[in-house]
């Protein structure tokens, strides 16, 4: 149950909380990175990992200015910086700083070790040319972003085989915080990517609107009907469940539970399901996308955004999908520009997130005025829309606008380098997200809590309806649209 | 909520769909399909350049 409680804790803050912290950290990192535009490199010490066969040569600082630090020095500097900033954040959120610092140390070491393993040439090398370059006769061809999968599996092993250790780590297991920081950072990266092809980028934005309609108006209604009519769930269970499957997972289930005045346990139990199924999707869907959709890269990206629930799992799965699809295209001699697939996945997810508050208000209005009418009960108020608005989206928009303005203002290669340094931290927060999601996912809890019937609704809806309709809509709106080629 | 309580609750008699729930489902699907068709038309006439 601890993972569900953690999920609830992570999804609750629609006030200043994790969202506000994510915006502060994300914008702070970007500002420090942008100082390099004026000739002073403040973040070049961040650690980066190259595909390796000799582990001694794997790690290094992202900027040549800090090459003297060496791999170990860059890793230590990155760890200390993150420890200080996130411990201060934990204090601001009212957490136990000492517990957080100790737990975060283990989380960082295990998560980055997973990333390191994922960058081993036997795991990461993709093309025969790569294999020849690294002198390996075979490889799993997962790209170096296969490290995300390794981090997820490491977390799953801890959650399912070492539950006491998983519980001990929980103070630093904050996937929602980590992914929100990453999404804020992603705003600038997407802006720099989009600035070169503004017409294409705006066309993709227009197509992203379909995702909002699909999630709220199509998915929700069908899943609610299935839960109520086929599985006989009460309204109190069916509404959060429909939001969890249809919209953006944990946050939507919590928001809906609050809107219809459900008991807190209902949203907690639904959230635990959301996390488990999101992990299953992350382990399966990117590889299906690579196998069947590599000729339509943006269809694959939009599909991942629509099918994978929870922001963390979806955006991170978008990153893996981009690596896998681009690697397959590269093996066929097509070099797509990186960044476009993850931009589409993130846009789809952020567009869906924006309307959580509006949807929660509509449900609250219907429930308090027509379904659960109590004379003295508090009625739905429009202020709930803002209260439930995911504030980290504002950070994403701010970094996107800043990045776009600088790119269009002619900041050029220097800006790309600066955003690249910020992007190094985005990757580290992705790694922490994957590891954390794994640690929260104890598959045995499903049966212990008697959630089989809830899981059945989720399974039927997700794999019988949501991913297929998502695929059709993604195909309808993104088929034939290709990312720009390199050069 | 204990395992037993949860099991009992999930086995409780089905609440019938109220007219307002049917309306919510119907209007959602109706508006959703209409908007998707409209967006598809816009998509057709404004191809990606």
Whole-complex ipTM: 0.93
pLDDT-based confidence at residue A346 (cuts at 50, 70, 90): very high
- Per-residue model confidence (pLDDT) at position A7: 47
Mean pLDDT of chain B: 85
- CA quadruple A258, A264, A265, A270: dihedral positive or negative? positive
Q: Which of A183, A252, A191, A140 is nearest to A430 (CA)?
A: A183
pLDDT-based confidence at residue A250 (cuts at 50, 70, 90): confident
Overall average pLDDT of the A42-61 stretch = 95
User: Which comes out higher in pLDDT, residue A384 or A223?
Assistant: A223
- Per-residue model confidence (pLDDT) at position A15: 47
Residue A386 is encoded by which pair of tokens? 């803002």
List the single residue in A207, A218, A449 with the smallest CB-CB distance to B6. Answer: A449
Overall average pLDDT of the A137-156 stretch = 88
pLDDT-based confidence at residue A427 (cuts at 50, 70, 90): very high
Judged against a pLDDT cut of 60, whether residue A13 lies above it is answered with no
Contact B34/A at CB under 8 A:
no
H-type helices in chain B, by residue range?
3-10, 19-45
- Per-residue model confidence (pLDDT) at position A5: 42
pTM of the complete model beyond 0.90: no
Tokens 């900033």: give the residue: A85
Q: A371: which chain B residues are within 8 Å (Cβ-Cβ)?
A: 18, 20-21
| Cα A465 from Cα A157, distance rounded (Å) | 30
| Cα A324 from Cα A289, distance rounded (Å) | 8
Query: CB-based contacts of B9: which residues, under 8 Å, 6+ apart?
Result: A234, B1
| Cα A133 from Cα A328, distance rounded (Å) | 18
Contact B2/A at CB under 8 A:
no
- pLDDT tens digits along A186-230: 999 889 888 877 888 888 887 888 999 999 999 999 999 999 999
CB within 8 Å: B48 and A473: no
- Per-residue model confidence (pLDDT) at position A435: 95
For chain A, percent of residues with pLDDT exceeding 70 = 95
| Cα A274 from Cα A251, distance rounded (Å) | 10
- Per-residue model confidence (pLDDT) at position B49: 62
User: Which comes out higher in pLDDT, residue A39 or A87?
Assistant: A87
User: Which comes out higher in pLDDT, residue A7 or A268?
Assistant: A268
Q: In whole angstroms, how far apart are CA A429 and each of A104, A149, A264, B24?
A: 12, 14, 29, 39
Contact B10/A at CB under 8 A:
yes
CB atoms within 10 A of CB A228: 25
Question: Which of A103-107, A281-285, A344-348, A471-475 has maximum average pLDDT?
Answer: A103-107
- Per-residue model confidence (pLDDT) at position B5: 73
Mean pLDDT of chain A: 89
Phi, psi of A47 (to 5 degrees): -80, 140
Q: Minimal Cα–Cα distance from A252 to chain B, Å?
A: 17
């Amino acid at each position: 149950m601890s993972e569900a409680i953690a999920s609830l804790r992570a999804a609750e803050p629609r006030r200043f909380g994790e969202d506000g912290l994510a915006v502060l950290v994300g914008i702070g990192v970007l500002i420090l990175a942008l100082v390099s535009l004026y000739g002073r490199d403040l973040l070049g010490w961040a650690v980066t990992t190259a595909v390796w066969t000799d582990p001694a040569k794997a790690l290094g600082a992202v900027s040549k200015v800090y090459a003297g630090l060496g791999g170990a020095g860059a890793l230590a500097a990155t760890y200390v910086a993150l420890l200080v900033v996130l411990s201060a954040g934990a204090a601001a959120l009212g957490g136990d700083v000492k517990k957080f610092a100790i737990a975060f140390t283990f989380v960082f070491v295990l998560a980055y070790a997973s990333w390191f393993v994922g960058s081993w040439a036997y795991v990461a090398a993709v093309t025969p040319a790569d294999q020849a370059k690294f002198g390996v006769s075979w490889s799993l061809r997962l790209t170096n972003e296969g490290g995300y999968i390794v981090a997820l599996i490491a977390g799953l092993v801890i959650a399912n085989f070492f539950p006491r250790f998983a519980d001990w780590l929980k103070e630093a297991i904050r996937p929602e915080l980590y992914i929100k920081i990453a999404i804020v950072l992603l705003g600038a990266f997407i802006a720099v990517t989009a600035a070169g092809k503004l017409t294409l980028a705006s066309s993709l934005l227009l197509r992203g609107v379909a995702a909002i309609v699909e999630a709220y108006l199509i998915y929700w209604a069908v899943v609610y009907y299935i839960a109520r009519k086929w599985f006989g769930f009460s309204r109190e269970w069916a509404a959060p469940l429909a939001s969890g499957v249809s919209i953006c997972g944990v946050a939507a289930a919590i928001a809906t539970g609050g809107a219809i005045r459900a008991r807190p346990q209902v949203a907690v139990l639904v959230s635990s399901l959301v996390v488990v199924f999101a992990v299953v999707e992350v382990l399966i869907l990117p590889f299906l996308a690579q196998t069947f959709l590599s000729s339509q890269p943006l269809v694959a990206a939009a599909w991942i955004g629509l099918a994978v629930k929870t922001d963390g799992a979806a955006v991170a799965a978008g990153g893996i999908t981009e690596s896998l699809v681009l690697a397959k295209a590269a093996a066929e001699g097509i070099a797509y520009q990186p960044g476009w697939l993850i931009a589409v996945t993130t846009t789809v997810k952020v567009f869906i997130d924006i309307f959580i508050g509006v949807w929660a208000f509509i449900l609250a209005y219907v429930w308090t005025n027509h379904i659960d009418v109590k004379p003295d009960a508090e009625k739905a108020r429009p202020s709930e829309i803002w209260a439930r608005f995911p504030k980290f989206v504002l950070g994403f928009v701010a970094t996107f606008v800043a990045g776009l303005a600088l790119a269009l203002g002619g900041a050029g290669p220097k800006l790309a380098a600066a955003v690249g340094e910020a992007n190094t931290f985005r990757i580290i927060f992705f790694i922490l997200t994957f590891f954390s999601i794994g640690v929260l996912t104890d598959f045995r809890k499903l049966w212990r809590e008697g959630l089989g019937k809830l899981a059945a609704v989720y399974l039927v809806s997700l794999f019988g309806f949501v991913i297929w309709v998502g695929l059709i809509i993604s195909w309808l709106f993104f088929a034939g649209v290709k990312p720009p080629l390199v050069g | 909520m204990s395992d037993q309580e949860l099991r009992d609750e999930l086995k409780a008699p089905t609440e019938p769909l109220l007219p307002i729930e049917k309306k919510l489902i119907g209007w959602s699907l109706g508006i959703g399909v209409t908007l998707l068709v409209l967006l598809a038309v816009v998509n057709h006439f404004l191809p990606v350049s």
